[in-house]
Amino acid sequence: MQDLTRVDEIVGRYADTKTPLIYILKDVQKEYGYLSDVVLTHIAKKVDIPLSEIYGVATFYSLFTIKPKGKYVVRCCNNAPCHVKKSKEVLEAIKSYLGLEVTETTECGTFTLEFTSCLGLCAVAPVMMVNDEVYGNLTPEKAVAILKDYKMKGQSNA
Amino acid sequence: MHRNHVLVAMDAHTIAQGARAVRDALMRNLEMTSLTSEVKVVETGSLGIYNRGVVLVIFPENVYYVGVKVEDVAEIVSEHLIKGRVVERLHYTDVPVEKAAEMGAAPRFGKQQRVVLKNAGIIDPESIEEYIARDGYEALGKALTEMKPQDVIEVVKKSGIQGRGGAFFPTGLKWSFAAAEEAKQKYIICNADEGEPGTFKDRLILEGDPHCVIEGMALAGYAVGADMGFIYIRGEYRMSIDRLNRAIQRAKENGLLGENLFDSGFNFNIEVREGAGAYICGEETALIESIEGKRGEPRDKPPFPPSVGLWGMPTIVNNVETLANVPQIILKGADWYKSMGTEKSPGTKVFTMVGNINNPGLIEVPMGTTLREIIYDIGQGIPEGKGFKLAQMGGTTGGILTGAHLDLPMSVEALREIGSGLGSGALLVVDDSQDVVELVENFVEFFNHESCGKCTLCREGNGRLLELLQRINSGKGHVADLNLMEELAVTMMKGAFCGLGQAAPVPILGCLKYFRDDFVRKIEAAEMAAAA
Amino acid sequence: MKTLADLRAIKEKAKKEMATREQSAKYRISVAMGTCGIAAGARTVMSAILDELSKRGIQDAAVSQTGCLGCCDQEPIVQVTDADNRTITYGKVSAEMARKIIASHVQDGKVVSDHVFDMA
Ligand SMILES: Cc1cc2nc3c(=O)[nH]c(=O)nc-3n(C[C@H](O)[C@H](O)[C@H](O)COP(=O)(O)O)c2cc1C
Ligand code: SF4
Ligand code: FES
Ligand code: FES
């Protein structure tokens, strides 16, 4: 059972904000990593919005996740400006290095692979993000080298 | 202030050929002619010209002299620096192009005219004082102390500025609708959702000059009678969000946001609202739903936001770039604004240049600059010696432009005439090594992903289009599929509920129109390979 | 803020402060710190600049940040403006380059020309 006291505290933070749901979900996700059923049910009670509606919001926006994710979330951009700079080759290299399809998480829980929509960094395309760090001017080799570093970091911290 | 700079190249080659002696002679000569306060000598490293003796460059004329000897110095000083005549005998015109660009002849900035970006990259965005020092908040002060709200609207109307969010609706007219509404509460929303692939102009304005957007919003608030503003910004734009919050705080501390501004009785406050990753929330009614904490699905229009918007109240939604233009329009007047750009699209436009281009990035040019000037002069052409295949103006929902359009002026009316538009101002340049059919599949993948799912035509239509394209790209397509795609696209364009579903077919139809052969060739090649 | 005169007073003061800062500093160094610049490494460049200035004991240089200029392929960008308001723009600056710019341009007045991409 998850500890829900932090949820209460976060809901309290936005007592003065009109229509605060998205802010609450953001902060709760930051705290708990993802939006579990238990957490969403609790929020619904607290803010008096039907669970179905909260669930609808949580699944509508791509920054929210209702599934737990890996320690490092790798988000590749594949929008048109990155596409013409060969982002697909980079994506394929990452897929085969991590052994993942997009939206999957490694069994050890280290990596999750996702798409991101254009980050407005297309001038240094192709681009990927690992958690909050942005990497540009990628080649398949460069991308894999960056992920290797993360893998080592992940293991040494474990 | 020095009126001229003389650069003396000091590298191993030039020093070996007497650069030091030339420099000394130059200094002596300038002293003798009392020019030291007007002309400055700067030593630089290599200027990229070898085996030509001592090399000098004189700025701002950007004139190169080579093979300069000590005895030539007096002539250069008296002819060039005093009389302004180039010493042809030593003049070197064969300057390597890239070097010339680097050394100040930079066309990158030359054709640009920075209005919206006048402060970006120049002031410290964290300092309200630097903004004020460059006429910041002067327009707000002028409006609140000397103008009636109606006057502000009149100036904006007369300036002819059209919204920079993509639809290019006349801003003054939009404001007059909200001003005419009777309501207890009205709102101003700055649309900083910027999700159109290839677009990052709004982020740059917000990061580089946040106060000009704040001032623009306050002016809009005064004009229509709103005392509350929201900036709806992409959640991914962390740095812009932080800078905006700090800028709002500083404006409050300085009495430029809050109560009774300039003792006029006018109040205005701003809150930042973050998006959570949904392209459709850039559409103004979906954005309003999102601020209300709901799924960002577009609303029925009419009623339009200026009558019924946020929490049911009259609301102005304007793009970042639109609002960033407003303070200068109020300060310098409608005629000044109209002196830039074309008759029907006044002002400047910020474009982001991406894709297969040598100088990618952000530029601001007068409306009506041709595609060729943008791609070849400012953008410095296409890399790796490849040819130009197509450009897409306005992001992934934008129209397709081909070589035949290179001399088309980039203005609202010229693009409207060919059934296209400027959209978000993102210009994707595509070279001739790219596969158009795969590119179109990439477009449709985007639409399919970003369709909010509210209406069937867009949800199912994009899904079907994607299947067809995947089929063609995996070598299992038929030429008849192309007609099917066209039919589907035209139906979506006519029947989709919002701008996404209506605009998604635009680039697809464009590519089918201009590059149908590419599709047919791909299909036939696969058929032949299968038969063999 | 009560009147336009109040605003102008701030403006005059800010202008003066900027001017004295400009006069007292022989060189003004600014680093473009937009998301793009930072993604390209502007933060390490900034700290290299600050570190090198203090190592060399240079005190007549003012360091500031600005938004980005829009020349993405050139990031990180560092601009050095001298007392005559002449600005040299350096592109693709690495931490190492930044140290060289301080040593050569700011300390010795010699433009590091192989990384210059614009002058104004
Ligand atoms: C699918 C879709 C996405 C849009 N995205 C944006 C956006 O990211 N930013 C923006 O300013 N306008 C966007 N718009 C346009 C807005 O609906 C609206 O017209 C605009 O914000 C009005 O501001 P303006 O009058 O200053 O142009 C979008 C429209 C559609 C249909
Ligand atoms: S056209 Fe597409 S994006 Fe627009 S409302 Fe319909 S499904 Fe949603
Ligand atoms: S398309 Fe990938 S960052 Fe813009
Ligand atoms: S967006 Fe800042 S340099 Fe490109």
Expressed as residue numbers, the domain containing C34 is 25-108
Confidence at residue C22, expressed as pLDDT on a 0 to 100 scale: 66
Q: Which ligand is nearest to the CA of A79?
A: 3
Report the C-alpha gap between B210 and B123 in whole angstroms.
11
Q: How confident is the model at residue C119 (pLDDT cuts 50, 70, 90)?
A: low
Q: Is the minimum CB–CB distance between A44 and chain C shorter than 8 Å? A: no
Ligand 2 proximity of B241 Cβ (cutoff 6 Å): no
| This prediction's pTM | 0.84
Atom index in ligand 2 nearest the CA of residue B450 equals 3
Is residue C1 in some structural domain? no
C-beta of residue B102 within 8 angstroms of C-beta of residue B380: no
* Contact at CB, B359 and C3, closer than 8 angstroms: no
Q: Is the pLDDT of residue B326 over 70?
A: yes
The answer to whether B58 touches B81, Cβ cutoff 8 Å, is yes
Q: Which CATH number fits domain B348-431: 3.40.50.10330, 3.40.50.620, 3.90.550.10, 3.10.20.600?
A: 3.10.20.600
This model of the complex carries an ipTM of 0.93
Whether residue A61 and residue B446 make contact (CB cut-off 8 A), yes or no, is: no
Q: What is the CATH number of the domain that holds C79?
A: 3.40.30.10
DSSP SS3 for A20: coil
Question: Helices B138-146 and C4-24 meet at what angle, rounded to 10?
Answer: 160
Burial class of residue C93, CB neighbours in 10 A (0-12, 13-18, 19+): buried
Contact B121 C67 (CB under 8 A): yes
User: Can you tell me the mean pLDDT for B323-348?
Assistant: 96
Judge whether B143 and B152 are in contact, CB under 8 Å: yes
Instruction: Name which of A62-66, B329-333, B431-435 the model is least confident about.
Output: A62-66
Span B295-316, pLDDT tens digits: 999 999 999 999 999 999 999 9
Q: Are strands A128-130 and A72-77 parallel, antiparallel or unpaired?
A: antiparallel
Pick the more confident residue, B113 or A36.
Answer: A36
Q: What confidence score (pLDDT) does residue A157 get?
A: 67
Nearest CA to ligand 1 atom 7: B282
Q: For residue B321, which of B427, B198, B428, B162 has the smallest C-alpha distance? A: B162
Q: Has residue C38 got a pLDDT over 90?
A: no
The pLDDT assigned to C120 comes to 46
Read off the pLDDT band of B189 (50, 70, 90). Answer: very high
Tokens of B382: 């296409």
DSSP secondary structure string, A135-158?
A: E-S--HHHHHHHHHHHHHHHHHH-
Buried b (16+ CB within 10 A) or exposed e, B102-125: bbbbbbbbeebbbbbbbbbbbbbb
Give the C-alpha separation, B356 to A85, whole Å: 7
Give the pLDDT confidence score for residue C21 in this predicted structure.
66
Identity of the amino acid at C105: H
Residue nearest to atom 25 of ligand 1 (CA): B163
Q: Quick one: what percent of chain B has pLDDT higher than 90?
A: 75
DSSP for B366-389 reads: ETT-BHHIIIIIIS---GGGPPEE
Ligand 2 centre and the CA of A19: distance in Å? 24
Q: Which atom of ligand 4 is nearest to the CA of B200?
A: 1
Domain segments of chain B: what residues? Answer: 4-93, 128-338, 348-431, 436-531
**Domain limits, chain A:** 5-60, 72-157
pLDDT at B530 over 60: yes
Under CATH, to which class is B4-93 assigned?
alpha beta
CB B500 within 8 A of CB B447: yes
Range scoring the smallest mean pLDDT among B9-23, B382-396, B515-529: B9-23
The verdict on a CB contact (< 8 Å) between A124 and C35 is: no
CATH topology of domain A72-157: Glutaredoxin (3.40.30)
Contacts of C4 in chain B (CB under 8 A): 138, 141-142, 145, 262
Q: Tell me how far the alpha carbon of residue B446 lies from the centroid of ligand 2, in angstroms.
A: 13
Q: What pLDDT, on a 0 to 100 scale, did the predictor assign at position C109?
A: 85
Which chain C positions have a beta carbon within 8 Å of A77's beta carbon?
none
C70 pLDDT above the threshold of 80 = no
Question: Confidence class of residue B4 from pLDDT cuts 50, 70 and 90?
Answer: confident
- How far, in Å, from the CA of B120 to the mean position of ligand 4? 11
Test site for ligand 4: of C30, C33, C75, C78, most ligand atoms within 8 A of the Cβ: C75
Domain contains C115: no
Closest alpha carbon to A34 in A10, A58, A8: A58
Q: In the predicted model, is pLDDT for residue C35 greater than 80?
A: no
C residues 31-90 near A, CB within 8 Å?
35-36, 39-40, 72-73, 75
What CA–CA distance (Å, rounded) separates B375 from B377? 6
Q: Do A121 and C73 touch (CB under 8 A)?
A: no
What would the mean pLDDT of C97-111 be, rounded to a whole number? 91
Distance from CA of A11 to the nearest CA of B (A): 14
- With beta carbons less than 8 A apart as the criterion, state whether A65 and A103 touch: no
**Tokens 């500083």 sit at which residue?**
B250
- Look at residue B496 and tell me whether its pLDDT is greater than 60: yes
Task: Specify whether the CB–CB gap between B17 and C98 falls below 8 A.
Answer: no
Q: Which residue of C has its CA nearest to A135?
A: C39
Query: Per residue in B21-47, pLDDT tens?
Result: 899 999 999 988 888 878 888 776 656
Q: Pairing relation of β-strands B228-233 and B266-274? A: parallel
Q: Exposed (0-12), middle (13-18) or buried (19+): which is B148, by Cβ within 10 Å?
A: exposed
Our answer on whether the CB atom of B204 is closer than 6 Å to any ligand 4 atom is yes
The mean pLDDT value for C29-37 works out to: 85
- Among B42, B103, B212, most C C-beta atoms within 10 A, so best to mutate, is B42
% chain A with pLDDT above 90: 80
Strand segments (E) across C1-120: 27-32, 61-66, 78-82, 87-90, 116-119
**Residue contact B276–A79, C-beta within 8 A:** no
Cβ-based contacts under 8 A for chains A and C: 19
Q: Does A84 touch chain B (CB under 8 A)?
A: yes
Cβ of A119 below 6 Å from ligand 3: yes
- For residue B92, the distance in angstroms to the closest alpha carbon of chain C comes to 19
Q: pLDDT tens for residues B73-127?
A: 999 998 888 887 888 888 887 654 334 334 333 444 556 788 898 888 778 888 9
Q: Which fold has domain B436-531?
A: de novo design (two linked rop proteins) (1.20.1440)
The tally of domains found in chain C comes to 1
pLDDT tens string A72-127: 999 999 999 999 999 999 999 999 999 999 999 999 999 999 999 998 888 888 99
The pLDDT of residue B411 is 97
CATH T-level fold of B128-338: Rossmann fold (3.40.50)
Q: Is the CB of C75 under 6 A from ligand 4?
A: yes
pLDDT beyond 80 at A2? no
**How far apart are alpha carbons C27 and C82 in whole angstroms?**
5
**What confidence category does residue B493 fall into, taking pLDDT thresholds of 50, 70 and 90?**
very high
Best to test chain B binding among A29, A66, A79, A124 (most B CBs inside 10 Å): A79
Q: What size, in residues, is chain A? A: 158
pLDDT at position B388, please?
97
Contact A112, A104 (CB under 8 A): yes
pLDDT surpasses 90 at C60: no
Predicted local confidence at residue B107, as pLDDT: 41
Nearest chain B residue to C83, by CA:
B1
Give the integer Cα–Cα distance in Å for B288 and B191: 10
% pLDDT > 70, chain B: 94
- Which of B:146-205 have CB within 8 Å of A? 194-200, 203
- The mean pLDDT value of chain A amounts to 92
pLDDT at B103: 39
- Helix, strand or coil, per DSSP, at residue A58: helix
DSSP 3-state of B74: helix
Highest mean pLDDT among B240-244, B374-378, B428-432, C36-40: B428-432
Asked if A135 reaches chain C (Cβ–Cβ under 8 Å), the answer is yes
Tokens 């770039």, located at residue: B321
* Low-confidence winner among A36-40, B25-29, B191-195, C82-86 (lowest mean pLDDT): C82-86
Average pLDDT for C25-54: 86
Q: Cα(B381)–Cα(B115) distance, rounded to whole angstroms?
A: 25
- Cβ-in-10-Å burial (0-12, 13-18, 19+) of A107 comes to exposed
Please state, in angstroms and rounded to a whole number, the distance separating the CA atoms of residues C46 and C34: 13
Compute and round to an integer the Cα radius of gyration of chain C. 16
Round the average pLDDT of chain B to a whole number and report it: 91
